Structure 1
């Protein structure tokens, strides 16, 4: 299925969804001022590296790949920990650590949303493999204090 939308300013967006499969084939995901570099296993905030434990990185990448649905604890156990059973405290700690890493920059929204008795979902708009934003590079090049609020 291919969905073509046009916004108020006239620009056109094309969204492709094939057989409800999730898009895991990307090299860079941008959400707000954050960029996830999949090949480097790196998260950046306004170009600066954000330290993530390997497990927390895997959790973030999984949430981004499955961003349009609720992900249950059982699925996280299978896909992230690759075990049938994981202690609830371990899941709570990992989700809490991920929230801490991406919320310390005060985006004004919960990045990971909790769905009571169902699971979690990623709560930000994600753009996969976007074109580079030249204004970020210009600001960095000239060392100007330009607020980085996303695209």
Structure 2
């Protein structure tokens, strides 16, 4: 899949899991970076089963960005769970600014340069584990408009309206 396909699928899946829109958008960006950096896909699957974990992680990243906006000093974060730590690192690496991350066991030292753009590149193709891909598809399907005459008359579907 392409970066954009993975990111979009991640946004839809997070939305289907019940994650609020802003956090779902950030989750999609994290997912693409996480897959590109070969992060543990099982951690993502587990987080999608507990959407409150995704929201909490999004708020942690927001707090780190806020701290970086008022000081040039590194910000430290502790995360004992290896899967959550990997997603935190991917979330920070997905930010559009320069991020330097030093990981030592459960401790992550974060230096963000909010005025400098990220120099990270995107691979051409990303590879999802089949089980994660299926989970993402199932959750994303929860966001689709049901196929019905009522939904079509309300504007769903492409090219199905008769124009006079």
* TM-score, with length taken from structure 2: 0.25
* The structure with more strand, counted as a fraction of residues: 1
Higher helix share: 2
Rg (Cα) greater in structure = 2
